[in-house]
Amino acid sequence: MALDVTDHAAVIAFCAERDIALVVIGPEAPLVDGLSDALRAAHVPVFGPSQAAAQLEGSKGFTKDLCARAGIPTAGYVRTASLADARAALARFQPPYVLKADGLAAGKGVVIAETLADAEEALADMFGGGFGGAGAQVVIEEFMQGEEASFFALTDGTAIVPFGSAQDHKRVDDGDVGPNTGGMGAYSPAPVLTPELQARVMAEIIEPTVRTMREEGNPYQGVLFAGLMLTAEGPKLIEYNARFGDPECQVLMMRLENDLVAIMLACAKGELAGTEVALRDQTALTVVMAAKGYPGTPDKGGAIALNDAEADGAKVFHAGTALKDGALVANGGRVLNVTATGASVTEAQAKAYAAVDRITFPSGFCRRDIGWREVAREAST
């Protein structure tokens, strides 16, 4: 049955009819739209933050202001609501200029401008409605230098349980070039985020965030996904997501030993304290197979044959597929997540690409270098 998730009353009625014991809200839009508040008010257990707490993803300015209040390491910034103020503020920054539409923009709200002229043009576009309502306010940030990695934690608003690390590949083409995408592949764990760095991320970023949100009356419940820049001064927050991340979720789930429902219910009920998340000591790596045209307009409807892709223990997650007259076809930008595990990134990568190579998908493509940073480090040790 198709359910319109923007119709909160319909979702609540559905949950009552089917006696639903837990709702897990995956994407950011229904979180920012307050679906979790509506369900909680109807006494339906929900995994996912309230509308107020989902601002950590829904408003870049909200998160930057929170970092400033709580002393959380992040890029210096200015938050402005007018083009004139934004243009004036540019003088306080060096190129490259990092400009962000405040609201949700499906991963497209960030512009990195090399020159002042490009920065002014991007600001005019943001304030001119180029990003819809998301651009009513703009954050201008200092450019941070370093390697990016992601860190995940579950929280019920008070207790916090680390959920491991991952590294995504945002650019569409090999070698990290071309336009940004939602993510073309990921692996977990990300060894660049050493145990020492993870301890710093917990102490300097995650814990003060959860504490400050709670103290300010917006307890955050669900998964916190911290996008980090590992700078020479230490890890700094780039942004938060209020969800597991795609394709980070796929690699984290491949490693999870716990019963996922039990830990999500513990979060939903405020009973997370004492829970431990056990992740297999293996690397999981996923390669996104996308439809040609992505991240622009994808070529929909192309035939896919999975063949024996899962024969050697690989797992193919479907992201944008459909069945047409009983046959599998592409039905979105990112179509499949071909995922494998191994003792190292190198081994997981080899297994994932062996599975990719078994799949027939003429109108699709993928990057061939997912995990390259870590594969290079493994080769040099």
Residues that bind ligand GLY (CB under 6 A): 168, 182-183, 241, 245-246, 248
Among the listed residues 37, 141, 246, 374, the single contact to ligand AMP using CB under 6 A = 141
- Please state, in angstroms and rounded to a whole number, the distance separating the CA atoms of residues 334 and 350: 21
Among the listed residues 143, 158, 310, 321, the single contact to ligand AMP using CB under 6 A = 143
Which value, in Å, is the radius of gyration of the alpha carbons in the chain? 21
| 366 binds ligand AMP, rule: CB under 6 A | no
Number of residues that this document lists for the chain: 381
Output the smallest distance, CB 247 to ligand GLY, in A. Answer: 6
Which residue lies nearer to ligand GLY by CB, 185 or 342? 185
Output the smallest distance, CB 141 to ligand AMP, in A. Answer: 4
Bridge partners of 234?
231
- Please state, in angstroms and rounded to a whole number, the distance separating the CA atoms of residues 258 and 254: 11
Among ligand GLY, ligand AMP, none, the one that 238 touches (CB under a kind-dependent 5 to 8 A) is ligand AMP
Output the smallest distance, CB 312 to ligand AMP, in A. Answer: 32
| 288 binds ligand AMP, rule: CB under 6 A | no
Among ligand AMP, ligand GLY, none, the one that 239 touches (CB under a kind-dependent 5 to 8 A) is ligand AMP
Among the listed residues 138, 139, 144, 266, the single contact to ligand AMP using CB under 6 A = 144
Would you state the structure tokens that stand for residue 101, as one six-digit string? Answer: 């539409």
Per CB under 6 A, which region of 87-95, 135-143, 155-163, 259-267 contacts ligand AMP?
135-143
Map tokens 């078994």 to a residue. 358
Q: Is the CA virtual torsion 254, 255, 256, 257 positive or negative? A: positive
Among the listed residues 8, 64, 170, 243, the single contact to ligand AMP using CB under 6 A = 170
- Please state, in angstroms and rounded to a whole number, the distance separating the CA atoms of residues 64 and 75: 9
| 246 binds ligand AMP, rule: CB under 6 A | no
Q: H or E element: which one contains 324?
A: strand 321-324
Output the smallest distance, CB 290 to ligand GLY, in A. Answer: 13
Strands 147-155 and 97-101: what pairing?
Answer: unpaired
317-321, Cβ contacts within 8 angstroms, sequence gap of 24 or more: 317/250, 317/286, 319/246, 319/247, 319/288, 320/291
State the DSSP string of 53-97: TTHHHH-HHHHHHHHHHHT--B--EEEESSHHHHHHHHTTSPSSE
Among ligand GLY, ligand AMP, none, the one that 245 touches (CB under a kind-dependent 5 to 8 A) is ligand GLY
Q: Would you give the binding string for ligand AMP spanning residues 78-117, x where CB under 6 A is met?
A: --------------------x-----------x-------
| 332 binds ligand AMP, rule: CB under 6 A | no
By CB under 6 A, name the binding residues for ligand AMP.
75, 98, 110, 141-144, 148, 170, 227, 238-239
